[in-house]
Structure 1
Amino acid sequence: MPSLGDLLREWDRGAQAVARGDWDCALRLFSGYPEPSARMCFNVGCVHLLAGNPEAALRAFDQAVTKDTCMAVGFFQRGVASFQLERFQEALCDFRLALAQLRDNTAIDYTQLGLRFKLHAWEVLFNLGAAQCRLGLWAEATRSLEEALSKGSEGARDHLCTALDQVQKQVHLQPRQGPRGEVFRPHRWHLELLEPVDFLGKAKVVSSAFPADRQEDIQPQQPQGCSHRGLENPHRLWSQEAPRDRDTGRPRAGGAG
């Protein structure tokens, strides 16, 4: 059985595989968990959607929302998979469930959970309207788009106005889905904990803070085996000094003798 560290590394490698578009590698890595979490099941579903397999994606999203019944983004993506399979009534139910899990909030930011995606209420309402269009519920679709327009940001206004105009002309809409290539990733600090830590570090030569020591560092002491002439025996320096006067201690004139 793989260790927790191994599973975290495989999760990270799987997310990297999604980023580079290697669906087979991502699915192999994400499927290695003996007890997959809701987030891992969600990842598998997203990869299947990217790979063009909405049936397999639907099964994975089923697992995700079964494990986490409050996962609004899971219901949202399952609705997208049902829509692609032309199961519009099921898609309608999932978009309503996603809207209910928003709990009157304008958005849910999943960034702290490892998914770089913010699910907005207007996006869910947009998809709700798209499913209603396919079911011939044009009046309901119009109301959904009008509500989306009231909740949408300034940047989404033009897009929603165009969509509302299409619905009023009874033109079908294509649903929105999560950003391409984005899946739940492990927290970076979890991965950093797996890296080996060198508590001792590398040895360094540190200069002394004492001036005398620094002077010695610059001008090292002469080794004892000095070869300078006259310094072979330092005692000779004392023995060659001039004789000193016994009373004053000063050298006597005339030197030794």
Structure 2
Amino acid sequence: MPSLGDLLLDWHRGAQAVAREDWDCALRLFSSDPEPPARMCFNVGCVHLLAGDPEAALRAFDQAVTKDTCMAVGFFQRGVASFQLERFQEALCDFRLALAQLRDDAAIDYTQLGLRFKLQAWEVLFNLGAAQCRLGLWAEATRSLEEALSKGPEGAHTDLRTALDQVQKQVHLQPRQVPRGEVFRPHRRHLELLKPVDFLGKAKVVSSAFPADRQEGVQPQQPQVQDADARAGPGAAPRAADTGTACGPRRLPGAETEVGPGQAGPADLRVPVVSDEQVREPEHGSSGHSRALCGAQARGVAGASHGGHTPGSGGAHADAPWCRQESGRPHGPRPWGPGLQPAHPQLSRGPCHPSPPSWTQASPRKVQPGGARRGAEKGRREGG
């Protein structure tokens, strides 16, 4: 069974075949629908009339008015087909049915339905008088033409007066019909929907690395690099992996640096270093472990940061464990300094050393319980 688009396309091609008077092609295209609507049956009947086959046209118009009992132009054309077959009584009935479908209107415009024809009431009355003349009803034919003259426009008055004079002289009239080559056509909006639509469009070369693509509007390919906001931008310096240099975490200018064994770096002399054992909560009620500061080790850190040596340090902190990752639970506010600082997520990450953001703590030498503070308290008690 053909699709709706195929039927619509055949309908349009059939109307084009009627315009070039190719009756066989038009009939083949109009008959492609196994269940044709009333307008398609009307087209088939009009083509048979133009081809000189009123018998086939009568059958087609019978189907049209059966499927659409209010098609006045269908009754009008069926009366014409019956008139050509010299079935004047049937033609007279069809013309009366067409006049009844007008419902006392002056005309019915079929343009919006695809037929460029306006069925006028005076034309139906004219055909009614022509059929009455064939049946010998000259008086009724005269009244029909007089009524048509009263309802017709001024442009049709000349033809109607001429026809009235012929009836008075008992001269037969020829019926009027739909203009030659006029059939129902599909709507233009429906035909536009049959055109293929390219929703994706055509591909366009914007940037290319091939010399053969150097055309107007095409730019050469540029290297991409990520800026400070992690967005790619063109035309930047080559990456470290491309130049053969060592990869490591990038750091912002002026950021404090953590140092390891045998290294020296900038440190803050005003803030002492806090060890992991000192920050942790006291165990077993011992107060010697709570918040004790190791001044000697803080001075050792400061001396190492400026390239000096501290007695007992063995050089630039050769025996101090540095950059140990804190694994305990958070302990509230922390002092800010080189001993405890937040690791910037962009500074601690790099293309070669990815790591999640965390808090790093540089822990100096572990302080044994009962250290300097407990000895100082014992000395005060003995001196007192």
TM range (shorter): 0.7 to 0.9
Shift of 1:201: 3.5
Instruction: Tell me whether 1:96 sits opposite 2:96 in the alignment.
Output: yes
Shift of 1:191: 1.0
Q: CA separation of 1:107/1:205 partners in 2, compared to 1, >3 Å: closer, same or farther?
A: farther
- Equivalences for 1:1-257 in 2 at 5 Å? 1-202=1-202
1:67-86 alpha-carbon deviations (Å, 9 max, x no partner): 00000000000000000000
Secondary structure in 1 matching 2:149: helix
- Residue by residue over 1:226-250, the C-alpha shift from the partner in whole angstroms, topping out at 9 and shown as x without a partner, is xxxxxxxxxxxxxxxxxxxxxxxxx
C-alpha distance in 1 between matches for 2:205 and 2:141: 74
Amino acid of the residue matched to residue 190 of structure 1? H
Could you give the per-residue CA deviations for residues 83-131 of structure 1, whole angstroms, max 9, x where no partner exists? 0000000000000000000000000000000001000000000000000
State the distance in 2 between where 1:168 and 1:204 align.
79
1:185 alignment partner, SS class = coil
CA shift digits 1:171-202 (9 cap, x unpaired): 00000000100000111111111111123445
CA distance in 2, matches of 1:135, 1:58: 20
- Higher alpha-carbon Rg: 2
After superposition, the C-alpha distances for 1:127-180 in whole angstroms (9 at most, x for unaligned) are 000000000000000000000001101111100010011001110000000010
AA at the equivalent of 2:146: E
Show structure 1 runs of 5+ residues with no match.
207-219, 224-257
TM-score (norm 1): 0.79
Letter in 2 for 1:184: F
Relative contact order (C-alpha < 8 Å, sep 6+): which is higher?
1
Q: How many residues align?
A: 212
User: Which whole-Å CA distance do the structure 1 matches of 2:138 and 2:183 have between them?
Assistant: 34
Aligned to 1:243: none
Counterpart Cα distance in 2 of 1:171 and 1:102: 28
CA distance in 2, matches of 1:194, 1:38: 23
Measured in 2, the distance between the counterparts of 1:146 and 1:118 equals: 21
Separation of aligned partners in 2, 1:203 and 1:32: 40
Amino acid at match of 1:8: L
1:185 counterpart letter in structure 2? R
Cα separation, 1, equivalents of 2:37 and 2:198: 33
Q: For 2:77 and 2:49, locate their aligned partners in 1 and report how far apart those are by CA, in whole Å.
A: 9
User: Which secondary structure does the structure 1 equivalent of 2:119 belong to?
Assistant: strand
Counterpart CA distance in 2 for 1:84 and 1:9 is: 32
Gaps of 5+ in 2: 207-218, 223-384
Q: Counterpart of 2:18 in 1: which secondary structure?
A: helix
Normalising by structure 2, what TM-score? 0.53
User: Which residue identity lines up with residue 152 of structure 1 in the other structure?
Assistant: G
Amino acid aligned to 1:22: D
Structure 1 residue 21: deviation in Å? 0.2
Hey, what's the Cα distance between the residues in 2 that align with 1:32 and 1:133? 40
Amino acid at match of 2:101: Q
Whole-Å separation in 2 of the counterparts to 1:179 and 1:107: 16
* 1:205 Cα deviation after fit: 9.9
Distance 1:25 1:81 in 2: 22
Q: As a proportion of its length, which structure holds more helix?
A: 1
Q: Following the alignment from structure 1 to structure 2, what is the Cα–Cα distance between the partners of residues 126 and 198?
A: 53
Q: In structure 1, what residue type is equivalent to 2:153?
A: S
Task: Name the SS for the 1:119 alignment partner.
Answer: strand
Per-residue deviation, 1:204 = 7.5
Between stretches 145-154 and 194-203, larger displacement belongs to 194-203
* 1:109 partner amino acid: D
Q: Distance in 2 between matches of 1:155 and 1:204?
A: 61
